[in-house]
Structure formats: C-alpha cells, structure tokens
Amino acid sequence: MELLKSKWFWIIAFGSLFAASLDLWAWDWTEPSVLGLPYVIIYILVLEAILFVLFVLFAKYYWTAEGSE
C-alpha cells in the first residue's frame, strides 16, 4: 500500500487515464456493443468506472495520508 501513498504513482495513474480518454486509435469504431450502444459510449462508461475506483483509492490512501486541518 506504500505505492498508493506515492505522489508519482497518482500522477502516472491519472495521467494515463486522461491519455486513454483521447482514444484517437479507435476514432472510427462504430460497432454497437452492449444494448445497441456504440463503442464510444461503452468506452467512456468503462473509463468513468476506473476513475471512480481511482478516486476511492486516492481519497483513502493519499489524500487522507497527507493529513487534514
């Protein structure tokens, strides 16, 4: 869990997620996937789920460890 208290871990984690949101490699994908929704919607939903998990871990292991006033 020490890793989750590292500033650099979080810079890389959030930076990578942001980079993943710029999915230029799949720009013209159009195939419907789940419930007829196109790829782009499902992809963003997955990213939002990952973002939620990162926020939970960040709040628990990094923000809290920094100490509060």
Partner 1 sequence: MNALTVGLFALYLVSLVAIGAYAWKRSKGTSEDYFVASRSIGPIVLFLSLAATNFSAFTFFGFAGAAYKFGLAYYGIMAFGTGFMALSFYFIGKKVWQLGKKNGYITPPELIGDRFKSDSLRTLFLVVMVVFTLPYLATQAIGGGIALNQLTEGEVSYELGAVIVTVVILLYVTIGGMRADAYTDVLQGVLMLVTMLAAVGIVSSGLGGFTTANERLATEWPDLVSRPGGGNFFTPQIWISYMVLWIMCDPMFPQLFQRFYSARDEKSIRFSMILYAPITAILFLCPVLIGAWGRLEFPGLTGKDPDNILPMMVDTFAPSWVLGIMLSGAFAALMSTADSQLLVMSSMLTRDVYRKWLKKNASQREEFVVGKILVVVLALLGLGLALTSVETLFETLTKTTFTGLAVLFPTVIAALYWKRATKWGCIASILAGELTYAGFYYEVLGSDYTYGFLPVIPVILVAVATLVLVSLATSRDASAMADASDDVSTS
Q: Which residues bind partner 1 (CB under 8 A)?
A: 14, 17-18, 21-22, 24, 27-30, 32, 35-38, 40-41, 43-45, 47-49, 51-52, 55-56, 58-59, 63-64, 68-69
Closest CA to 44 of 61, 20, 11: 20
**Closest CB to partner 1 among residues 1, 19:** 19
The token duo for 7 is 């500033």
Beta bridge partners of 32: 38
Q: CB of 18: closest distance to partner 1 in angstroms?
A: 6
Counting every residue, how long is the chain?
69
